[in-house]
Structure 1
């Protein structure tokens, strides 16, 4: 590559991109003065780490998918990381085509934020079935907290069981905690802190980062695949802090009569269409406001107050926020969760009920047997 003709090609220790000194506008740029350092970090990763500043890169979403597809031509274990609170949004829909016949384990991150009464076995079963419905057969499901280290021992044991001395590829959508997961994995094994760059921003890993597992095997951190359907892509940084749980979620209970509506900020809406008066339990980030109104007033309230009383989205995010689309669910009396991807869920606890869930047009609500 231009600028390092007389040297072995080097790769950024932060994002894995090939290092170059010729063009500051392209990925992998470092000044000539830094090229001989033992650890070389591109300017983009340096500024990300020290100034929390993100520079755009000339890669398309498809470029990231093409990078991941290299895995199909290798033999190894795939560790697929998802966000428990945004399973569909953080699931790479085409993963079964990108990874060939390699075995896959599914790792759900942020388990520490779930209420302690959550039935984790039910959650694992739901995740495994949901993956299968999306075309992906997984060997096992693990629940972890990458930030707190919960469940990491079980994941490491699972990796050893299923990789059979082969390489490991960690894959995931942007912002699922992949870098934090790998840093925790490597840190517990070697004592090395912050083995790779971490960021709250999408697309910071631009190539495969190679991390030795032993003298024969390598763990690869792969580029985060961007899913434009995620609700997070319509949020400002301020909004993201409101909708992203940072502490254990506390249930909020609402006694609703039929023809009443709950707004989850201005991001989603829940209508109780028909049924006896009953309790509905909301599980969302503790800072996310919930507003109750009559169904007959719901449309007018949204039109007048989106971005202020019904926020997030904040005023600066309203213009690009998709319209809400409705889905109907008929519940036969069994405790059921109505899941709002990227936000949380509402548990229908009582008898038979007809409800409607309104989500942004790019996101689909779903139902499952109640986890609590």
Structure 2
């Protein structure tokens, strides 16, 4: 059965809008002309940036579970900016017995003050692997690509490439193998196993794993593509009063106060460049904030019915050697603390307190407002 070289789906003519569909007359014409045959979905992604179908989540997970058991070598890719959202211990548990290479992708999205060696040391405390099995990469600037490629060339047989949706698997494989797989900013572009060659090694790209506990998972694929960090993330420093609320996008509200003093806390929020910040104590704004979706508060990318979303409120204390990570949205680095945060987010979105990646370079005066 012929498969689409872009996404791995079996070519079919009977179900428009489903994976692998191509009109039969288009198929025969391209066949006669000797042109590459790709499904309608990949054609529109490649030429127009349009997503025309999505694969079933349960089907994808069942497919991946079966595939994992067939491979001796696994390349597990995660998004280093959204570490907690894309490095999944429950997935790593399934990989016992395999030779696993861990790839921290999208290094270019981190602040330039974070060095590769600093990041790797931080990752070593979180990943059950030897230092030689952790690779840091960026397809945007080529960082770490040759080193990973060299390691992969030493492997024999075949390897399965795993990762949560939109961690950059297909882009990374394209950089390593110069393949022609469909590359797009949409999650779930790959819906079958796509074979790539690197010397004698066969690399099989798998569908992105859907997790549904990140902020980004609440939005449609087109909106997700706009939210994803495409360059160095934005940072903004806050020194709020207790009565002030900080919005990160439209679905995350943050209030903060010092745990043990009357001073104002100081912290930085890091988020993708299109995510907006807004600080306010205006009660009218707080009661009517959905009116600002898609503009002052982004994401959402447009109107969204918040009455259909269940929210939760969590209180967490974060000190100056720690960070607060809101999965699929942002992370917060404390400059003066400890800070007691009150976070309001949709119920399914996970919140983590972690050891700080951004170590404080100087002490903030804990006894002065200056």
Partner of 1:339, secondary structure, is strand
Describe the superposition over 1:41-68 as per-residue Cα deviations: whole angstroms up to 9, x where unpaired.
22322232223332325x4212111221
> Residues 274 and 298 of structure 2 are in contact (CA less than 8 Å); yes or no, is this contact kept in structure 1?
no
Match of 2:163 in 1: 172
Aligned residue-pair number:
347
Q: Any idea what the Cα deviations from partners look like across 1:209-259, whole Å, max 9, x if unmatched?
A: 1112234x3111111122222322323567546643333234322223445
1:192-207 matched pairs, under 5 angstroms: 195-207=180-192
Within-5 A mapping of 1:284-323: 284-294=271-281, 301-308=285-292, 309-319=296-306, 322-323=309-310
* Pairing partner for 1:233 from 210, 217, 223: 217
- State the match for 1:4 in structure 2: none
Contact 1:268 1:324 in 2 (8 A): no
TM-score by length of 1: 0.81
SS of the counterpart of 1:256? coil
Alignment of 1:136-175 (within 5 A): 140-160=133-153, 163=155, 165-175=156-166
The aligned counterpart of 1:3 is none
- Does structure 1 residue 87 correspond to structure 2 residue 74? no
Paired position in structure 2 for 1:213: 198
CA-CA distance at 1:208 after TM superposition: 0.7
Matched, 1:60 2:56: yes
Q: Tell me the SS of whatever aligns to 2:104.
A: strand
Q: Distance in 1 between matches of 2:226 and 2:14?
A: 41
2:74 is equivalent to residue 78 of structure 1: yes
Q: Are residues 1:10 and 2:7 paired?
A: no
Distance 1:251 1:232, change over 3 A: closer
Q: For the aligned residues, what is the CA RMSD?
A: 3.0
Equivalent position to 1:183, from 161, 167, 174: 174
C-alpha contact 1:242 1:285 (8 A) present in aligned 2 = no
- Cα offset for 1:363? 1.2
Structure 2: 5+ residue stretches without partners: 359-370
List per-residue Cα deviations over 1:282-323 (Å, max 9, x = no partner): 2223443322235xx67x643312341444324423447734
Q: Give the TM-score normalised by structure 2.
A: 0.81
The runs of 4+ residues in structure 1 deviating greater than 6 Å are 136-139
Could you tell me whether the CA contact under 8 Å between 2:257 and 2:264 is conserved in 1?
no
Structure 2 equivalent of residue 371 of structure 1: 357
Structure 1 unaligned spans of 5+: 1-8, 188-193
- Residue aligned with 2:336, SS: coil
